[in-house]
Structure 1
Amino acid sequence: MPSNATGLKRIAIVGAGPAGLMAAERLSQFDYEIHVFEQKPSAARKFLMAGKTGLNISHAEPLPQFIQRYDAAEWLAPWIEACDAVWIQAWMKNLGVASYVGSSGRVFPIEMKAAPLLRAWLKRLLAQQVQFHYRHQVVGLKGKTLRLKSLKTDALEQAYNLDFDAIVLATGGVSWPQLGSDGAWQQWLSSDEISPFQASNAGVCRSWSSFMQPIFGQPLKRVTAWVAGHEKSIGDIVISHYGLESGLIYKQGRALRQQRQAIVQSQGSTEQRMPNMTLYLDLLPELTESQLLKKIQPQAKQSTANLWRKAGLDPTKSALLRELIDKSKWSDSAYMAKQMKQLKIELTDFRPIEEAISCAGGVQQQALDANLQLKSNPRVFCCGEMLDWDAPTGGYLLTACFATGRAAGEAVHQYLETA
């Protein structure tokens, strides 16, 4: 149980993910007693998981374009401008971790993994007297008081209360709860301060016939995807046993949610079953419809399958057409050319939020002041994925966590300076 032996103002940070660690780093520049509480046995487990296949930590695209990737762009802009890809690369370099910008514009540490960066970061925070309390769960928050419980198997102590001069909540959303972000913190706030969480950067569901089973796990290479009335994106999509999966699908997630919400609102609140969502695909974006039509016009001794293949459709794309288009239409060249350029796919849902890379929803902007301070409890500041913002993968998620964590740390310092 940490005691206030220093006589310094005492700060609690709940959650040892990227946002919480960045808040701790900013506050460690000043003379405070800083305690980080993490219910897992170690820090930043989701961060480490994200870095297993290559830690995409930010993106080097022009800042105005970068900021527009967020649904809450205007809200986040000041913090991201102060903590952009250039700042993050310099911060990594200061930790002894070199980085590079890939051909896609994504920023990676040269070693690609998250573990070396995290080790260097934690080492520096410990040297700056930040105190970490692992396997300590916050089970309540009231005013300036945290109710804490040790999760150590040999611990005999019961839940206990500790008071702090300021509290930073960096508790994450609700995706990948097994890594620590279980959303239990929502009970500490009122329901009107939180937007319901929804899966983001998640696969989408559609029931396939048995015909598609041999195609599961195969990619639709270089296709254009869009939702009516929204921006188009190009990339690959993997056909899964449950539907569709890939970064290209993630990019369309926000538009799909908006489409569904618009349908629900137009049909009224009596909707018993969530309506389907509609995604469109251009299977051959390098060809115009007229060019395609010429290529698939019936020819002597040429089968439909062979014509499609010569037009550029690989077996996966051909299988998808056969799954979605009635067989009686396959020989109608004009109709099929249109379908290849604008194939309509009805989707029933997103994958469960527990499987999502991130989530939309969280603490609403209106519940916080301009410094991420909770209006209902000025001792408390919020940051990271628990805030109500959304972004695609590609370095945007981590950047916003870093940026809001740093902003919350600065805001706490300003608050304590004037308190």
Structure 2
Amino acid sequence: MTRVDALVIGGGPAGLMAADALLSEGRRVLLAEAKPSVARKFLMAGKSGLNLTKDEPSEAFHSAYGGSEPSLRAALTEFGTGAVQHWAVGLGQPVFTGSSGRVFPRAMKASPLLRAWLRRLDGMGLELRTRWRWQGWDGAVALFETPEGAQRVTSGATVLALGGASWARLGSDGAWAPVLGALGVGLAPFAPSNAGVLVDWSSHMTRHFGAPVKNALFRAGAMANRGEAVISVRGLEGGGIYPLTPALREGHGLTIDLLPDLSTGALAARLSARPRGKQSLSSWLRKTLKLPPVTLALLQDCARPLPVTPEALSSILKALPVPVAGLRPMDEAISTAGGLRFDALTPDLMLTARPGCFCAGEMLDWEAPTGGYLLTACLATGRQAGRSAAGWLNRAP
């Protein structure tokens, strides 16, 4: 039997931040992680450039989380975009802001930041246990399956930061849901978020796999997002598509405005000003509108046979319907919607069904697009859960 002040289960950004907050209050903290090392999804996400947060006014930032539950909004107010940047700098990782407002560490990668953070936590006395998989509770005792056999831990407070249900190989497998569900805790079904879409391309698209569709406006239902998406073997993926996942989940169709800087009328006028003559339709469009090969191929694959009048062609170019066959599987999504409902928690993120147990990170039922919002909310709720757990310990007899 191991006894500690506080037990943190889950070694992603939310769990590490909760441990940081508890250690800062002078508490003895044990952090248990099921994988052989911590923050695997964090490291994977940072391979192509770690997007820490988004530098924008608070109201615009909060709006990215939809309605934003009061508990989530409070956590983000306490630890928002400015605080995230200050935190990274405090770990010896200077940051910079790109033209889109996205904030990155100058090193770009996640590994230098994680190493500095773990050194800090180790210096504060964190007891880290890897390959410890949580099995639930036996009364007040937390149970773990480990390479050394069954382990039992008692603590004055617990923080669960167990992740969502995407990227199971990196630790976010949603296996905690049945344990909490058995306690009668309210759970929203998991669903893919920030996911690519499935499209059954014709064989003509094969040579364009890996090519980006740039500077387009993607629409689904009432949602729209300007960016780019990559043609893949299985469909479309990328920052232009991901924010539309909520609308696509609801069954709304996907359209692409291939020339968002031109109105339909201006586009029709440009096509009318240059008669097609004996040119092929593709050659005429390429020369007249300077469309790249991937855009022409996409146009032909999604809307063949193409209309020939400038007006009808303009309408297709401004709202190309993509025959989406569904979203990529949840385990391939960047994040998930659903999880632990906020009405199962007190305002300070404590489970009403289990006093002294606090929850944080992607296991909570919130959703946000990529662009720094996901990581910021994980850090903010982890900090809030850790601070709340410390307050619980301070009030305990």
TM-score normalised by the shorter chain: which range applies? over 0.9
Residue in structure 2 matching 1:377, options 344, 350, 354: 354
Distance 1:170 1:405, change over 3 A: same
Aligned partner of 2:289 in structure 1 is 311
Partner letter of residue 350 of structure 1? Answer: L
Partner letter of residue 319 of structure 1? Answer: A
CA distance in 1, matches of 2:165, 2:304: 41
Partner letter of residue 289 of structure 2? Answer: A
What are the Cα deviations for residues 182-229 of structure 1, in whole angstroms up to 9, with x where unaligned?
A: 211112112651111111111111211212222222111111111132
Aligned partner of 1:320 in structure 2 is 298
Aligned partner of 1:270 in structure 2 is none
CA distance in 2, matches of 1:72, 1:299: 50
- Where do residues 168-247 of structure 1 align in structure 2 (5 Å cutoff)? 168-190=159-181, 193-230=186-223, 232-247=224-239
Residue in structure 1 matching 2:265, options 290, 293, 304: 290
Equivalent pairs counted in the alignment come to 390
Aligned partner of 2:39 in structure 1 is 44
Q: CA deviation at 1:142?
A: 4.5
TM value normalised by structure 1? 0.89
Residue in structure 2 matching 1:390, options 361, 367, 388: 367
Aligned partner of 1:161 in structure 2 is 152
Partner letter of residue 78 of structure 2? Answer: A
- Where do residues 240-389 of structure 1 align in structure 2 (5 Å cutoff)? 240-257=232-249, 259-260=250-251, 277-297=252-272, 298-309=275-286, 310-327=288-305, 329-389=306-366
Contact 1:19 1:402 in 2 (8 A): yes
CA distance in 2, matches of 1:18, 1:42: 13
Q: CA deviation at 1:143?
A: 4.5
What are the Cα deviations for residues 345-389 of structure 1, in whole angstroms up to 9, with x where unaligned?
A: 231211111111111111001111101100111121110010001
- Where do residues 19-38 of structure 1 align in structure 2 (5 Å cutoff)? 19-38=14-33
Residue in structure 2 matching 1:105, options 80, 89, 101: 101
TM value normalised by structure 2? 0.94
Contact 1:70 1:390 in 2 (8 A): yes
CA distance in 2, matches of 1:212, 1:306: 17
Aligned partner of 1:61 in structure 2 is 56
Partner of 1:184: helix, strand, or coil? coil
Q: CA deviation at 1:45?
A: 0.9
**Higher alpha-carbon deviation: 71-80 or 368-377:** 71-80
Aligned partner of 1:17 in structure 2 is 12
Partner letter of residue 49 of structure 2? Answer: G
Q: Is the counterpart of residue 93 in structure 1 residue 70 in structure 2?
A: no
What are the Cα deviations for residues 117-172 of structure 1, in whole angstroms up to 9, with x where unaligned?
A: 11111111111111101111111224432111213xxx3xx323222111100011
**Higher alpha-carbon deviation: 122-131 or 395-404:** 122-131
Q: CA deviation at 1:33?
A: 1.6
CA distance in 2, matches of 1:403, 1:160: 30
Aligned partner of 1:82 in structure 2 is 78
Contact 1:143 1:377 in 2 (8 A): no
Aligned partner of 2:145 in structure 1 is 149
Contact 1:143 1:379 in 2 (8 A): no
Aligned partner of 1:265 in structure 2 is none
Partner of 1:189: helix, strand, or coil? helix
What are the Cα deviations for residues 39-68 of structure 1, in whole angstroms up to 9, with x where unaligned?
A: 111111111111111111111011110111
Contact 2:133 2:145 in 1 (8 A): yes
CA distance in 2, matches of 1:347, 1:300: 34
Q: CA deviation at 1:72?
A: 4.6
Compute the RMSD of aligned alpha carbons.
Answer: 1.6
CA distance in 1, matches of 2:126, 2:67: 31
CA distance in 2, matches of 1:202, 1:307: 35
CA distance in 2, matches of 1:197, 1:74: 18
Partner of 1:370: helix, strand, or coil? coil
Partner letter of residue 15 of structure 1? Answer: G
What are the Cα deviations for residues 19-48 of structure 1, in whole angstroms up to 9, with x where unaligned?
A: 001001111112322100011111111111
Contact 1:72 1:390 in 2 (8 A): no
Contact 1:144 1:165 in 2 (8 A): no
Contact 1:58 1:85 in 2 (8 A): yes
CA distance in 2, matches of 1:195, 1:404: 18
CA distance in 1, matches of 2:261, 2:283: 19
Percent identity, aligned pairs only, is 42
The gaps in structure 2 that reach 5 residues or longer are none
The gaps in structure 1 that reach 5 residues or longer are 261-276
CA distance in 2, matches of 1:20, 1:125: 12
Partner letter of residue 299 of structure 2? Answer: L
Contact 2:162 2:176 in 1 (8 A): yes
CA distance in 2, matches of 1:187, 1:74: 24
CA distance in 2, matches of 1:41, 1:407: 26
CA distance in 2, matches of 1:228, 1:356: 20
Aligned partner of 1:412 in structure 2 is 389
Contact 2:208 2:231 in 1 (8 A): yes
Contact 1:284 1:312 in 2 (8 A): no
